[in-house]
Chain A
Amino acid sequence: MTYFPEEVVEHIFDFLATHRDRNTVSTVCKTWYRVERLSRRSVFVGNCYAVHPERVVARFPGLRSLTVKGKPHFADFNLVPHDWGGFALPWIEAAARGCPGLEELRMKRMVVSDESLELLARSFPNFKVLVLISCEGFSTDGLAAIATYCRVLRELDLQENEVEDRGPQWLSCFPDSCTSLVSLNFACLKGEVNAGSLERLVARCPNLRTLRLSRAVSVDTLSKILARAPHLVDLGTGSFTIDHRAEAYHKVMGNFIKCKSLRSLSGFWDAAPHCLPAVYPICGNLTGLNLSYAPAIQCADLIKLIRQCSKLQRLWILDCIGDKGLAVVANTCKELQELRVFPSDFYGGGIAAVTEEGLVAVSSGCPKLNSLLYFCNQMTNAALITVAKNCPHFTRFRLCILDPKKPDPVTNQPLDEGFGAIVQSCKDLRRLSLSGLLTDRVFLYIGMYAERLEMLSIAFAGDSDKGMVYVLNGCKNLRKLEIRDSPFGDAALLEDVGKYETMRSLWMSSCDVTLGGCKALAAKMPGLNVEVINEMDESDEMEENPCDLDKVEKMYVYRTVAGPRNDAPDFVWTL
């Protein structure tokens, strides 16, 4: 290979599809390192504190697409204090200085300020794609800057962000010359929307294929938009409350019928059952359906709708669908690959919405099922064993039994055997979340069988350090491990410290790890940041006289080449 001109080597590298492969070839020799870094167009940074932004930009000056992730996953559930970190600005500043050709930026769980959005908008003349997922810290003013200055914007995708509303004028900031939009998702915005601006924007963007509207968009506006953009492929409907006036209802149904390309539907905020038939005409074409924000629609109406969706591959639904509704899914949606059943009652103890029966039915009727997120009131080992047999292709299996530590209600046993069956049968399992009553045994199974496992989430599980050690020893491909409220302590933490350099991160909260244990880990492994998070308590005893024997409330460990971070707040100690 050394006799090939560099252009040829570069051309060969073009065929490498994954980051992993490109990272690997860059380590072969200096020439390949240089060729690779200069031709690299896309970089993925899984932990924003693992490397300095300046270093990324210096190494890859030709960068066109950058993806950065910030807070640990458990931040989604309020376990990470608000100002922990994960700031977007340093990344945008570095890119503005070093990669002016940047076209795409994707960020997840980061703090993005209006200032950084404005800098982004002004710094990259070719900027095309902005995707922000579960981010916070910005307002509609920041969006206004993006709309105003990104002349060739193709994609603005805002998923589940906390955005401060400063008025509807941001949408009007897209200039008349902006005709390039392909994808626009502002479903997470809470404020008012200027309907006229929205309609005109849609009308002048002939390539628009994805449009997800916020709750403030009325059905009348939706109707007009559908009339202008019948070529939409992915639609978020907005509020979807249709008055009993027949005219509005028939108009929107008539416009839906024209949308022959529509494959994915979401939104349905505040939708009442009588609105649903408006979408019946296109149900037969749908591959994706998200009704998880429509609590007013109960089982009977869900069933009527789903019976018409025979091509569904992805279904997100609330647990009011019930086991009965899931049986209908099993009979109808033979192409189903991904199922998410969300809880409608967050505090549990309510009406049993879905149980193991629903899951078994779906596993039996939908052989292509490979991704599951399932919130339920109970689960049995027998059911899990059946599911494992029916669906050996799971890559993502997340089960949440709402009552922590709940055993198999039939046998009163822990769910070790059930989850054991899952990991043994599903050889391609990459992500697993556990719940229910679990002993160390389940971790023995996971360590033995879950060879491809990359992410494991543990809550209220295990008996002793042995459990955690089984996982660390066994799962060769483990990248992210997050544990809460489980009896794992210093012995488990320190058993194999080198393991953490092969992983992206480890999170442990409300476990038995002590400050002394964390210090020991930090001392042995300089290539890791060991962060101890101590939120202010009324009793500041721990703050004033931290003792090595004290248990640590929250610990976040991650490999890094950037050293301790310089933006950590007071309550985060990097040991």
Chain B
Amino acid sequence: MSTTLEMERSSTQPVVDYEETALTLGLPGVSRAGGWDQQERKRGFSETVHLLDGSSGIEPRGGEDLGDESPDCAASGADRRRASKERVVGWPPVRSHRKNALRGCTYVKVAVDGAPYLRKVDLETYSGYHHLLTALHEMFSCFTIRDRRLVDPVKGTDYVPTYEDKDGDWMLVGDVPWK
């Protein structure tokens, strides 16, 4: 899988949605014009979560090959990217009612193996994966969070957060940018 993605990346026309979903994420806000560095491919889940939350102070694993981006730059880069997308007030000209209605499909069911019932959460109310996991921890309070997994202290088994995407595939939580 990752080999295929690397081949895609080296072609001259990067496909936008691959960039969004690739395991080989760069820091949010990093200019993509400079191309990707082969070294900064895989990240651990925890680092990915931290990076996507835009929290500063986390060093990227590996070298400095992301175009000299420091974590602070990355955080402000994220701000810049967010700002540039939202800078134009009222554009595109879509009524708020429509924007809100379509954005409203953010409720998801959460099931934990062994828990007696499911819960529903509104993804909109969380600012990032870390926040979401904390909330899930509170909901399924019999578990604790350790290393970004929910751990059952009794059995010692840990639960990796996963989700089913629109194609019906089970995906690891945290790969796709929070937005």
Contact = CB atoms under 8 A, between A and B. Distances in A.
Interface of A: 74, 76-79, 134, 160-162, 188, 269-270, 292-293, 295-296, 342-344, 346-351, 375, 400, 402, 404, 433, 457, 459, 484
A160 B96 CA distance: 9
Given A134-B97, A162-B97, A295-B105, A346 B92 contact: yes
B26 to A, nearest CB: 16
A433 B91 CA distance: 13
Given A78-B96, A349-B16, 17 more contacts: A77-B93, A77-B94, A77-B96, A78-B89, A79-B90, A134-B95, A269-B101, A270-B105, A293-B102, A296-B166, A343-B92, A347-B86, A348-B85, A348-B92, A402-B92, A404-B91, A459-B91
5 contacts: A76-B93, A295-B102, A342-B94, A346-B99, A349-B85
Across chains A and B, which 3 residue pairs bring their CB atoms closest together, nearest first?
A77-B90, A160-B97, A347-B85
A117 B102 CA distance: 29
B95 A76 contact: yes
B17 A351 contact: yes
A344 B93 contact: no
Given A342-B98, A349-B16, A375 B90 contact: no
A77 B166 contact: no
A433 B98 CA distance: 19
Nearest to A162: B97
B91 A77 contact: yes
A343 B94 CA distance: 8
B152 to A, nearest CB: 31
B101 A293 contact: yes
* Central interface residue in B88, B92, B101, by most chain A CB within 10 Å: B92
Contacts of A295: 102, 105
Contact of B90 (A78, A349, A433): A78
Given A134-B97, A343-B94, A79 B89 contact: yes
Contact of B92 (A74, A162, A293, A400): A400
Nearest to A187: B101
Contacts of A77: 89-91, 93-96
A106 B40 CA distance: 60
A482 to B, nearest CB: 10
User: Number of contact residues on B: which range applies?
Assistant: 20 to 34
Nearest to A344: B102
A459 B93 contact: yes
A270 B166 CA distance: 13
A79 B105 CA distance: 25
A100 to B, nearest CB: 34
Contacts of A78: 89-90, 96
A351 B102 CA distance: 17
Contacts of A346: 92, 94, 99
Interface in B126-179: 166
A188 B91 contact: no
Contacts of B88: 404
B96 A375 contact: no
Contacts of A400: 92-93
Contacts of A161: 97
A162 B99 CA distance: 13
B88 to A, nearest CB: 7
Contacts of A79: 89-90
Nearest to A188: B97
A138 B67 CA distance: 53
A346 B86 CA distance: 10
A522 B88 CA distance: 29
Interface string B50-88: 000000000000000000000000000000000001101
Nearest to A298: B166
Contacts of B94: 77, 342-343, 346, 375
B136 to A, nearest CB: 23
A348 B94 CA distance: 12
Contacts of B89: 77-79
B16 A350 contact: yes
Contacts of B98: 160, 292-293, 342
B16 A351 contact: yes
Contacts of A349: 16, 85
A404 B94 CA distance: 14
A50 B96 CA distance: 26
Contacts of B96: 76-78
A412 to B, nearest CB: 18
Interface in B94-117: 94-99, 101-102, 105
Nearest to B82: A347
Contacts of A348: 85, 92
A76 B166 CA distance: 31
A437 to B, nearest CB: 15
Contacts of B86: 347
A393 to B, nearest CB: 24
A234 to B, nearest CB: 19
A188 B95 CA distance: 13
* Central interface residue in B17, B86, B89, B102, by most chain A CB within 10 Å: B102
A351 B105 CA distance: 20
Nearest to A80: B90
Contacts of A342: 94, 98
A348 to B, nearest CB: 7
Interface string B7-43: 0000000001100000000000000000000000000
Contacts of A343: 92, 94
A510 to B, nearest CB: 9
* Central interface residue in B85, B90, B101, by most chain A CB within 10 Å: B90
A74 B90 contact: yes
A404 B91 CA distance: 9
Contacts of A134: 95, 97
Contacts of B102: 293, 295, 344
A275 to B, nearest CB: 15
Contacts of B93: 76-77, 400, 433, 457, 459
A296 B104 CA distance: 12
Contacts of A375: 92, 94
A387 to B, nearest CB: 20
Contacts of B97: 134, 160-162, 188
Given A270-B105, A347-B85, A350-B16, A160 B92 contact: no
A400 B146 CA distance: 48
Contacts of A459: 91, 93
Contacts of A484: 90
B134 to A, nearest CB: 27
A433 B92 CA distance: 12
Nearest to A190: B104
Contacts of A296: 105, 166
